Amino acid sequence: MVREEGLILDEILSANPHLLHADVSAIVGLDTFGVSDIQVLNAIACHTLGRPDMSPLSCIVFLADSIEPGRGNTASLQVLRQISQENIDKAVYLTCDYTLKKLLDSPRLIHPRLIATRNRFLIKCKYGGKS
């Protein structure tokens, strides 16, 4: 499906095909379920790695996937859930930080899109969006 749709398959996605489920889910949403709203499809596609240019809807879905109750109830997740209620942009970069810390403690590859997402939302919060 990835090849048929012309999605770019870098070496990190090739080594971690589970990361493709977000982009593939957007394709399924369009092709199988007839979802045509581009904002909804983008939100689906961004829910795992994020994107630096995420819309508010995409941010909400990204956060919902990362901090949903099934992820646990650690102190860190509780803080992220609270911040999500107060400042979505801050919650996005802190959620990226949380994910990056977990990945750094494992022998897993880190996709640069997650880092780019983190950096863009940190810039938005710390510098008013000026890069």
pLDDT of residue 116: 97
pLDDT of residue 130: 54
Residues in the chain with pLDDT < 70? Answer: 2, 129-131
Domain that holds residue 86: 2-127
Tokens at residue 3, please? 């090849």
Give the domain CATH number at 48: 1.10.3210.10
Contact status, residue 46 vs residue 111, Cβ threshold 8 Å: no
Distance from C-alpha of 125 to C-alpha of 117, rounded to nearest angstrom: 12
pLDDT of residue 6: 72
Alpha-carbon Rg of the chain, whole angstroms? Answer: 15
pLDDT tens for each residue of 24-54: 999 999 999 999 999 999 999 999 999 999 9
If one counts every other C-beta atom within 10 angstroms of the C-beta of residue 80, the result is 21
* Greatest C-alpha distance within the chain: 42
pLDDT of residue 131: 46
The pTM assigned to this predicted structure is 0.88
Number of domains in the chain: 1
